[in-house]
Chains A and B, each alone.
Chain A
């Protein structure tokens, strides 16, 4: 045991029960904890109090259009993959008031939203989702215009990441080079072993949170066991995507017959964009009171699968499911790279699991590659 704090980039071993102490320290430091918990037969992200709220002993079975919770063979805290929620619901809320307006004597007073956002500690962030947060950073605060609502939430976040020990049948993080090991963008990163958590320190804030928590320097044995856990997860990745010829293979096949084919299956329900941790699109709702003396602008999540998304007066630039699916896939895997210098897909597999008809992004790219058709 050590009284001093571990240094950044060190790895330490911590008794499993001490994670509660880490939670308590975070709460004492003013953080609101959000993490995985079981609700409505799925592992969702919500505010949590302690270890008891974590899905201990649960795992998930994921396949295209299929998600089922089941008892895990072990009694670990993190033996499952990502669920339908992602951290964007906290950083880039699906409903947010931009400002309100009061009208008085012919003029207006504009009041920006000023509720201070919660200071979140994200518990159990997987490697793909750490990468997804980095991607939304580029979109929302990485250019000349910055979204102050995102920035205010983002800059206060504490990230307690978890290396995956169990990779799902719809995962392809290894193909997208985002996981299963977390390689940056965290304050603390856990690897769960049967007896201990191996904790990698990612920042000063991470080291401080360990405070009075009992820890020991990690041994070679612990480090070896942890890396085998992660290797196993990597081997388990159930899907793969060839990325060498992206974006070209999509740009060169904008008229492929495969777009027509997938349009016969796609319902244009927008589930994939809703669950995707990087999709950022929004629209604005304007509401006013009955006497029209005050009004609000509310930003709400939107999707390129919604028909109104590309409405222009007297027409629609993407009136067909074919054109909307093509926008989604080419944005994720091609134009995103031109826009932000990174793919828009981290390989989390959510869009595959939560597609009601089981369309697989990995298979669609393969089909376009195979069919061509320009």
Chain B
């Protein structure tokens, strides 16, 4: 019988849940319990056609273990090698953490929304990250570095629990030389730590912002993002210029499994990057 959705396209037996095979080219320890994996698709056609935008993610799969959502943390300008920064957080990420160069992994993607790198051209950017939250923002930084003059003032406010939890520290100098003001803090310092101690939102006090021309991009624990939004609003940055990347349990990434729902949004489709003005009625509601 006929309905609007039974078009000939349906007949294509392409299952969006089927992974492609990729080979691990390189594994680089990046922080405590966190490694950066470089992946290359086995299929040359997939390798040639794959493109992604800063903020999007892939589903990574290991047979018998499961599948997890992991952001792309490499340069979107070099889509032939996929960089994923993965923290050992549980059963699947631990199994992935045991893989070595040459091993095979399943990949499907890219999924989800992107950071508004085009929309914010010409404006100042405050990039705020907590812990592993810097992973989906690294592609933003790498993209900006390639066309630094397209943006105004660019600040990175980054914090982690301890110095050993900070990601990409070996790249900070390069980012600074490229014209990004990198401000770093940790919750708990240790003897050798010479930097700032305190939570990320406090870093807002160290910067001067012209609220009329500034956008905020934030990723980290939800509680951190709540305070970031508070600080941004206090500096009269408009709600619709605040973007956050959200996380929910994900089992499909294509809108079928229902797990990632956040009110009317499917985080896997309309997110993970969401405009604060659009989700404000739901954001911060207890256990929502």
Q: Which residue of B is nearest A292, CB measured?
A: B64
Does B287 lie within 8 Å of A335, measured CB to CB?
A: no
Asked whether, in the complex, the Cβ of A318 is within 8 Å of the Cβ of B261, the reply is no
Q: Which residues of B contact A255 (CB under 8 A)?
A: 285-286
- A281/B258 in contact, CB under 8 A: yes
Q: Is B234 an interface residue when CB atoms closer than 8 A count as contact?
A: no
Chain A hits for B161, CB < 8 A: none
Is A23 part of the binding interface, using a Cβ–Cβ cutoff of 8 Å?
no
Q: Which residues on the B side are within 8 Å of A101 (C-beta)?
A: 63
Cα–Cα distance between A108 and B66 once the two chains are bound (Å): 15
Q: Report chain B residues within 8 Å CB of A251.
A: 263, 281
Instruction: Determine the distance from Cα of A294 to Cα of B90 in the docked complex, in whole angstroms.
Output: 22
Distance A286 CA – B95 CA, assembled complex (angstroms): 13
Query: A112–B16 Cα gap in the complex (Å)?
Result: 11
Query: With A254-B282, A255-B285 as given contacts, are A187 and B18 in contact (CB-CB < 8 Å)?
Result: no
Within 8 Å of chain A (Cβ to Cβ): is B142?
no
Query: Does A143 touch B at the CB level, under 8 Å?
Result: yes
Known: A205-B1, A286-B63, A295-B63. A309 touches B259 (CB 8 A): yes
Q: Which B residues between 164 and 183 are near A, CB-CB below 8 angstroms?
A: none
Contact of B64 among A154, A205, A295, A312 (CB under 8 A): A295
Residues of A9-42 contacting chain B, CB below 8 A: none
B13 at the interface (CB under 8 A from A): yes
Instruction: Determine if A203 and B1 form an interchain contact, defined as CB atoms under 8 angstroms apart.
Output: yes
Residues of B within 8 A of A284 (CB): 66-67, 251-252, 257
Most chain A CB within 10 A, of B4, B18, B63, is at: B63
Instruction: Assess the B287–A319 pair: CB atoms within 8 A.
Output: yes
CA gap between A148 and B5 in the complex, in Å: 12
- Known A140-B256, A143-B255, A318-B287; judge A186-B13 contact (CB<8 A): no
A108 to B61, CA, bound (A): 12
Verify if A185 is at the interface (C-beta below 8 Å from B): yes
A149 to B10, CA, bound (A): 10
Report the bound CA distance from A331 to B282 in whole Å: 13
Quick check: A312 and B248 within 8 Å, CB to CB? yes
Residue of B nearest to A283 (CB): B251
| Binary per-residue interface labels of chain A (269-301) against chain B in the complex, 1 for a CB within 8 Å, 0 otherwise | 000000000001111101110001011010100
Interface secondary structure of A, over-half rule: mixed
One of A52-60, A71-79, A80-88, A322-330 contacting the partner: A322-330
Enumerate chain A residues within 8 angstroms of B45, measured Cβ to Cβ: none
**Which DSSP category, helix, strand, loop or mixed, fits chain B's interface?**
loop
Known: A255-B285, A312-B248. A286 touches B19 (CB 8 A): no
**A174, B253: Cα distance in complex, Å:** 35
Q: Does B191 contact A (CB under 8 A)?
A: no
Among B5, B18, B90, the most chain A Cβ lie within 10 Å of the Cβ of: B5
- Given the known inter-chain contacts A99-B18, A140-B256, A287-B64, please indicate yes or no for A155 contacting B10, CB distance below 8 A: yes
Asked if B249 is at the interface of the complex by the 8 Å CB criterion, the answer is yes
| A132-151 Cβ-contact flags toward B at 8 Å (1 or 0) | 00100111111101111101
B8-37 interface bits toward A, Cβ cutoff 8 Å, 1 = contact, 0 = none: 011111111111010000000000000000
Q: Counting CB contacts under 8 A, is B78 at the interface?
A: no
- CB-nearest residue of chain B to A111: B18
Q: Assuming A185-B1, A335-B264, is B15 touching A304 (CB within 8 A)?
A: no
B252/A282 in contact, CB under 8 A = yes
A154 and B6 in contact, given A282-B256, A284-B66, A335-B261 (Cβ under 8 angstroms): yes
Cα–Cα, bound, A327→B262 (Å)? 9
A47 at the interface (CB under 8 A from B): no
Task: Indicate whether A159 reaches chain B with its CB closer than 8 angstroms.
Answer: yes
Q: Is A6 at the interface (CB under 8 A from chain B)? A: no
Which of B4, B9, B258 counts the most chain A CB atoms within 10 A? B258
B9 neighbours in A (Cβ, 8 Å): 146
Q: Does B247 contact A (CB under 8 A)?
A: yes
Find A147's partner among B12, B93, B256 (CB 8 Å cutoff). B256
Q: Please state if B266 and A317 are interface contacts (CB–CB under 8 Å).
A: no
1/0 contact trace for A105-123 toward B, CB 8 Å? 0111010100000000000
Known: A185-B1, A281-B258, A320-B287. A108 touches B64 (CB 8 A): no
Query: Is A49 engaged at the interface, CB distance under 8 Å to the other chain?
Result: no
Cα A161 to Cα B261 in complex, Å, equals 33
The residue in B4, B103, B261 that gathers the most chain A C-beta atoms within 10 A of its C-beta is B261
- The answer to whether B16 touches A335 (Cβ under 8 A) is no
Interchain Cβ contacts under 8 Å between A and B, 25 examples: A99-B17, A101-B63, A106-B103, A107-B21, A110-B18, A139-B255, A142-B5, A143-B255, A145-B254, A145-B256, A146-B9, A146-B16, A155-B11, A185-B1, A203-B1, A255-B286, A281-B259, A284-B66, A284-B67, A286-B65, A286-B67, A304-B258, A312-B248, A317-B287, A317-B288
Given contacts A112-B18, A134-B3, 20 further A-B contacts (CB under 8 A): A108-B21, A110-B21, A141-B6, A143-B269, A145-B16, A146-B10, A147-B16, A147-B256, A148-B12, A148-B15, A149-B15, A155-B10, A203-B1, A205-B1, A254-B281, A255-B285, A283-B259, A292-B63, A313-B89, A318-B288
